[in-house]
Structure 1
Amino acid sequence: MVGKFRSIRLDNYKPLREIVFEVLRQAIISGDLKPGERLMEVQLAEEMGVSRTPVREAIRKLELEGLVVMIPRKGAYVAGLSLKDAADVFEIRQALEGLAAALAAERITEEEIDSLEKILVEINEAAEKEDVDMVIKKDAEFHQVLFKATRNDRLVQIINNLKEQIDRFRVQSFANKARIKSLMDEHKKIVEAITERNVELAKKLAEEHIEKVENNVMNILRKQLNMEDELPC
């Protein structure tokens, strides 16, 4: 973990503990902080140029979000990505995204359709440049526009409650660069179905899309777990 963080730049609009929380959360989601890695308050505080208090508060908040686990007499560790965790998240996500696509097909505006098509172009441009970070960012934007188009605030809230877990698995998914082309094709078909106001097809394609994402992530996690098993003790 040594040397992973720079001194925090203060933001007049956010409490220090919130800035520290966001920095640590992004490091976990991006994989800079690996599953099982220990989070030491003193070291993190020194690297970020802050006191231990905002670091401690940030770690507690990360624990509530399931990104950190506290082990008695040992300390705080980045939560692992288990096969069971992934299966649980994707089971929920598949149902919610299928519903979201169906509702969007009924309620989406022309402006939102234009936004989705624009994002598809941006994902393609980022893919051609092999800018995986931008592909991940635009993929998240694509789904957020889709969720907004449902006009169902409760549904959006429920999906956003899973955001941290979804973002972690999104990063895992794009570890396989070959997956990006498939993603673009799947997104394009979903947008076409929504544009045609084909509710059933939009729902079906969205569910199939999440199933493919799940299969990809599960394969990656299985390989990682096998590699860990093969490490010498």
Structure 2
Amino acid sequence: MYKFLSLKDHVYQYIAEQISKEELVPGEKINENEICRELSISRTPVREALIQLSSEGVLENVPRKGFIIKQMKETEARQLYEVIGVLDGLAAQLACPKLTEKHLKDMAFYIDSMELAINSGNYEMYYKQQEIFHGIYLQECGNDVLIGVLSQLKNKFVSKTYALSTDSEDKEVLRTTNSEHRVILDLFYKKDSSGLLKYLQETHWNPELACTEVTE
């Protein structure tokens, strides 16, 4: 299902993309006028998108300076992992009895797609496929509040979405993560809702791995 993007959502995605590609970096001020020119839109949707990104902790609204891109600290990343792990595990647990064979086959397809993206060094594609993979069970959990909160928390990591190099060490990190996706899929096949809760919380969102999401 395709979601129609409002002008505010379009600006939101544009800014998030600039940050994730490191064309905008922590500490840098957002140039609202430039965004208006680039997208040929008025100031209102730009302000709305900036306010949303600020409320989600991606930007900081500094008095007399404007919106500045925030630098995530390791402590914050660890705390986010702890919370996201619990909530993502809950979403999987709620969705477990609802997933159909098609859902599971789609998840398997995206796991294979992520493997191809890793091998080709296409990390932007990897991120997109990973987002869809997790989105399959998230959308089936049946709790709109949970979906909204998880989306907002995960958005805080936008600045590290594509910030990976092409060396073998980074590829190995992503391969390990993708192997975890296979375990998650296997747990869904087994209808092991309690196992999903535990695995997502303690392994897939292990706070000890949070430092990989932070620019030191």
Q: TM-score range by the shorter chain?
A: 0.7 to 0.9
Amino acid at match of 1:215: E
Greater mean alpha carbon deviation, residues 157-166 or residues 73-82 = 157-166
- Alignment-derived partner of residue 187 in structure 2: 193
The Cα of 1:55 is off from its aligned counterpart by 3.7
Give the deviation of 1:44 after TM superposition: 3.9
**How many angstroms apart in 1 are the aligned matches of 2:8 and 2:93?**
39
DSSP-derived class of the 1:77 partner: strand
Distance 1:71 1:47, change over 3 A: same
What whole-Å deviation, never above 9, does each CA across 1:141-168 have from its counterpart, x for those lacking one? 1110121232333322332232422444
Q: Which runs of 5+ in 2 are unaligned?
A: none
Asked if 1:87 corresponds to 2:87, the answer is: no
Q: 1:31 to 1:150 in 2, by over 3 A?
A: same
Q: Distance in 2 between matches of 1:50 and 1:156?
A: 30
The number of residue pairs the alignment matches comes to 208
Q: Of 164, 179, 184, which residue of structure 1 is paired with 2:178?
A: 184
SS of residue in 1 equivalent to 2:67: strand
Q: CA deviation at 1:118?
A: 1.2
Q: What stretches of structure 1 of length at least 5 have no aligned partner?
A: 1-12, 226-233
Answer whether contact 2:8 2:49 (CA < 8 A) is retained. yes
Q: 1:108 to 1:166 in 2, by over 3 A?
A: farther
The 5-angstrom pairing of residues 43-62 of structure 1 reads 43-50=34-41, 52=43, 54-62=45-53
State the SS of the aligned residue for 1:32. coil
Asked which structure has the greater CA Rg, the reply is 1
Give the structure-1-normalised TM-score.
Answer: 0.76
Percentage identity across paired residues of the two chains: 25
Q: What TM-score, normalized to structure 2?
A: 0.81
Distance 1:194 1:84 in 2: 31
Deviation of 1:139 after TM superposition, in Å, equals 0.5
Query: Over aligned residue pairs, what C-alpha RMSD do you find?
Result: 2.6
Contact 2:86–2:200 at 8 Å: present in 1 too? no
- Note the alpha carbon deviations across 1:87-136, whole angstroms, 9 max, x for none: 23211101012222223333321111111111111112222222111111
